[in-house]
Structure 1
Amino acid sequence: MKVLLTGATGFLGEYMIQELLENNYEVVAFGRNEKKGKYLSENYKNVKFVKGNLENREDLEKITDQIDFVIHAGGLSTVWGRWEDFYNANVLGTQNILNFCEKRNVKRLVFVSSPSVYAKKGDSLQVKEEEAPTENNLNFYIKSKLMAEKLIKESSYKSWVIIRPRGLFGVGDTSIVPRLLKLNGKIGIPLFAGGNQMIDVTCVENVALSLRLAMENENALGKIYNITNDEPMKFKEILDLFFAEMGIEGKYVNFNYPFTKGIVTILEKVYSFFKIRKEPPLTLYTLYLLRYSQTLSVEKAKKELGYKPKMTVREGVKKYVEHNRKS
């Protein structure tokens, strides 16, 4: 069986390749990073790299293999940028993948969406899949992901599954953990409500597992699943785990939420008015993540997919720190 993996040269890509190869699949790895793609094809047996951009149908036509499944993990994932870029990468790119699946008679499409679609001002605990809004304009990334989900749900191609994995971290992460560690080394990590808000994170290995299960399980067709490590923790508790493992002291700074929100609101308006592409120091989306609790229910994935995390948060933290120490 052959799987087309989009976003193969991104953070999740290599973990997904390992998960698939360990379960006897062949992989066509599609992505933009030629250097990483070459590394994947040279270091893993039964992996073929195809360089391409999801926005270009012609690039997808380079794939001549018979594809049985598609795992669509490619796209633009950041909290700031131009709407045109998000639309092209996440909406148009998804439409091109749907067309590909229909044209090639692909058995199933698994789409990697995002739980950022639930983001809002206020606490949200054990959020279920059906609680996602139809619209959320907090940022362009969220808007584009909801539009991509809508495309899939309304498509004439019916053999799909949508996964919303929360807070991926692991070796190779260039986003969440590195940003926080960088802040710790400079001004300190901002805390709201004493860092007692509850959050979920997910070891990237568990996300890869969930995507394979969604691809294989007949009960999953036409459904949406939240994925986390199923270990809700306080924000500060997770950070303290990292710092304890690294043997360093966490530096925290307590922020006043109303004052900070006022500043961030002004910053976003200024950056938008002057069309500044660089990400502001803080966005409303990130502020809500830092201030409010948000945990997701994974009961549906556990019951219907047979999902059971194979790595705990503590094991993931230890693996991350040990790797960084060696490198």
Structure 2
Amino acid sequence: MKVLVTGATGFLGKYILEELATQGYEVTAFGRNVSIGERLTNDKIRFIQGDFTEPSGIMAAAEGMDAIVHAGALSTVWGKWSDFYQTNVVGTENVLAACEDNQVKRLVFISSPSIYAAAKDQLQVKETEAPEKNELNFYIKSKLLAEEKIREKATVDSVILRPRGLFGVGDTSIIPRLIKVNKKIGIPLFDGGQQLIDVTCVENVALAVRLSLESSRAVGETYNITNDEPTPFKEILDQLHRELSVPVNYLSLNYSLMYGVASTLEKLYSLLRITKEPIFTKYTLYLLKYSQTLSIDKAKNELNYQPKMTVAEGIKKYAEDYRSN
């Protein structure tokens, strides 16, 4: 099977390439970063430089493909709506058009469980519990719209994945942020960090992508993907910093006070059109305050998904790489 992977030069994209290539797929990496793309190239993976927000580029790259994994996105909690819309919504429409015109047999779309975000505890959230609208931030809004575009295009056999809290070697977001804030002010905690969270080894997400390409039951379906190891936030932080051999510093905060700060900062940044992310947003406060775990029963039953790497193994692998660099 010939598979095109968008966002291939990003964190998740590189793991998807490796998972597919080692299982005998003919893989084409599609991304903007030429230097990274060239390093990914080998006898099983070729690279095409391009931007899926440009229709002609993705259309040409999709020619002759059996499947596309659309992993490319603008993934941040702050920025201009026009940027999120152009990349995550219009870009997805371009990928869908490329699938349709080239008769691509399967599209796997990487969405986000951030769409579930709310100011409340949520345990074992099912795929059907996603809200129709959630305008907590532009990223969430754009991902919901992109999912809508996917479901509307009945002529393209598609699968939607919502992987939670990806981490692993090469992570440029979650763990690096934690390390940075730990050094500067300490990691913020509410209620002692006892809220339950789900995280996912990036290797497991790549596995779920492959299973989504291979399962006949997956067409038209949406799946939550996690490690299926709900754990208190502080427990994960303690484990991470033990493996990193780095002292961990915690900063106990008052939620009501910080909610007011976050609301004020968001209004101020919007008014002044500041594109840099505020130090606190309501979304990050929800992550730090409330429990959120996802049910992956559907992925287990229909994709035969079983995580191949535990959280502890993933943390250890990351820490070993961190200490060696």
TM bucket (normalised to shorter chain) is over 0.9
Report the counterpart of residue 74 of structure 1 in structure 2.
72
Alignment of 1:252-291 (within 5 A): 252-291=250-289
Report the counterpart of residue 153 of structure 2 in structure 1.
155
Q: Which amino acid aligns with 2:14?
A: E
The separation in 2 between residues aligned to 1:298 and 1:22, in whole angstroms, is: 25
Regions of 4+ moved over 3 Å? none
Aligned residues between the structures: 325
Give the CA deviation at 1:24.
0.3
Query: Of 243, 246, 255, which aligns to 2:244?
Result: 246
1:35-72 CA-to-partner distances (Å, cap 9, x unmatched) read 1111111xx32211111111101211342751001100
Give the CA deviation at 1:250.
1.1
1:66-110 CA-to-partner distances (Å, cap 9, x unmatched) read 100110000100000000000000000000000011111111000
Report the counterpart of residue 188 of structure 1 in structure 2.
186
The separation in 2 between residues aligned to 1:115 and 1:57, in whole angstroms, is: 27
Report the counterpart of residue 172 of structure 2 in structure 1.
174
Report the counterpart of residue 318 of structure 2 in structure 1.
320
1:250-292 CA-to-partner distances (Å, cap 9, x unmatched) read 1001000000000110000000001001110111101100000
Q: Which amino acid aligns with 2:257?
A: F
Q: Normalising by structure 2, what TM-score?
A: 0.99
Report the counterpart of residue 297 of structure 2 in structure 1.
299
Query: Of 120, 123, 127, which aligns to 2:121?
Result: 123
CA contact (8 A) 1:101 1:157 kept: no
Q: Which amino acid aligns with 1:32?
A: R
Q: Greater CA deviation, 184-193 or 52-61?
A: 52-61
1:295-314 CA-to-partner distances (Å, cap 9, x unmatched) read 00000000110000000000
Report the counterpart of residue 56 of structure 1 in structure 2.
54
Aligned pair in 2 of structure 1 residues 27, 276: CA closer, same or farther (>3 Å)? same
Q: Which amino acid aligns with 2:15?
A: Y
| Unaligned ranges ≥5, structure 1 | none
CA contact (8 A) 2:62 2:99 kept: no
CA contact (8 A) 2:164 2:226 kept: yes
Q: Secondary structure at 2:61's aligned position in 1?
A: coil
Q: Which amino acid aligns with 2:310?
A: T
Q: Which amino acid aligns with 1:72?
A: H
The separation in 2 between residues aligned to 1:127 and 1:202, in whole angstroms, is: 15
1:113-157 CA-to-partner distances (Å, cap 9, x unmatched) read 000000011100000000000100000000000000000111132
CA contact (8 A) 2:59 2:95 kept: no
| Unaligned ranges ≥5, structure 2 | none
Report the counterpart of residue 10 of structure 1 in structure 2.
10
Report the counterpart of residue 23 of structure 1 in structure 2.
23
Q: Greater CA deviation, 148-157 or 122-131?
A: 148-157
Alignment of 1:69-148 (within 5 A): 69-148=67-146
Q: Greater CA deviation, 239-248 or 284-293?
A: 239-248
